[in-house]
Amino acid sequence: MEVREIQAFRAVMQTGTTSKAAALLDVSQPAISQAIRKLETGSGLRLFERLRGRLVPTQEAVMLMADVERYFTGFELIEHRIRSLRNVGTGRLAVASFPALGGGFMPRAIQAFDLPARRIRMSFQVMSSREVYQQVHSGQVDFGLMADELPTAGLEHSTFLEVPGVVVMNARHPLAERRVVTAADMAAHPFIALNPEDSGQRRLEQALALEGHRLEPVIETPYSHSVCEFALRGLGIGMAHPITALDHVQRGLVMKPMAVEVKARTLMVFRSGAPLSDNAKALLKVMRIQLDAELRQLGKQLAHRA
């Protein structure tokens, strides 16, 4: 039994005659008749009654047709998927990011990636580092960006970014004219702290403790974005991720380097044993180009305010 015999059988069942079936498949009428005879001989079934030059399906043919349709439906779905993959790459690109890079940096990188030109449909989720880990581990996203505050067991990972945190404040704050903010400065002013479980916050408190200083937070929040917003509104100073802080400088936020170095480390995480698609690799390349540009902008911003 060969596929072309099944195709001929299906065409006859759909059109009712060998001549119409031949036109449907773009072959000769004798080729259709021969394929039907070969199928009947090979299967040992009589599939059509020949009545006055017409082929009338037998009960066996009707039953066989149901299975043939299921086969061709699956085959057509495969053809559709192949066309989709050819025309739209993977057809799906999914990325998750923790908020520090998800609020401004990733939208800018995705804009530079130019989804319409690439004809890619993308899912982008901003969530906690724990949720990023879960999404990558379960295969719901192609890759993710997360802080280094959680273990990455079961995932492949690399460092995407490692930069010192900055102290942020509004332009009217007394420290806005300082070149560098010291441990004593941070302890002397109302402080907007990240949540106690944040790895950067813990490192900051440890560094200040070594110099004999202790923070007095007026508010705690889980996100650098919130630290920047509170600082803009004059609630105090706080340590923030510098890329997040860049999103707020045009609104009057001032960022300063700290005398104590507390690095913010961003991990790129992948599912083990699952190679990245070409589209995911292309996006990563654009993200690195965008990151280089923003790090240069960050350097200029800190130098300008020094």
Confidence (pLDDT) at 89: 47
Global pTM value? 0.68
272: helix, strand or coil: coil
Tell me the residue type at 267: L
- With a cut of 70, say whether residue 81 has pLDDT above it: no
Confidence (pLDDT) at 48: 87
Reported as a pLDDT band with limits 50, 70 and 90, residue 90 is very low
From the CB of residue 198, how many other CB atoms can be counted at a distance below 10 Å? 21
Mean pLDDT of the chain: 89
Which two three-digit tokens encode residue 126?
């901003």
Task: For residue 297, give every residue at least 6 positions away whose Cβ sits within 8 Å of its Cβ, in sequence order, or none.
Answer: 246
Least confident of 72-76, 87-91, 220-224, 236-240: 87-91
Per-residue burial over 273-302, b = 16 or more CB atoms within 10 Å of its CB, e = otherwise = eeeebebbebbbebbeebbeebeeebeebb
d(CA 142, CA 221): 29
Reported as a pLDDT band with limits 50, 70 and 90, residue 53 is low
Asked if 260 and 281 touch (Cβ cutoff 8 Å), the reply is no
Over residues 222-278, the pLDDT tens digits come to 999 999 999 999 999 999 999 999 999 999 999 999 999 899 899 999 998 888 988
Reported as a pLDDT band with limits 50, 70 and 90, residue 75 is low
Confidence (pLDDT) at 87: 53
| 93-162+265-298 maps to CATH 3.30.420.140 | no
Reported as a pLDDT band with limits 50, 70 and 90, residue 55 is confident
CATH topology of domain 3-88: Arc Repressor Mutant, subunit A (1.10.10)
Q: Where in the chain is the domain with CATH 3.40.190.10?
A: 93-162+265-298, 166-261
Q: Could you give the percent of the chain with pLDDT greater than 90?
A: 56
Of 51, 71, 55, the closest CA to residue 20 belongs to: 55
CATH ID of 166-261, from 1.20.1250.20, 3.40.190.10, 3.30.70.20, 3.65.10.10:
3.40.190.10
Reported as a pLDDT band with limits 50, 70 and 90, residue 305 is low
Over residues 271-283, the pLDDT tens digits come to 988 889 889 999 9
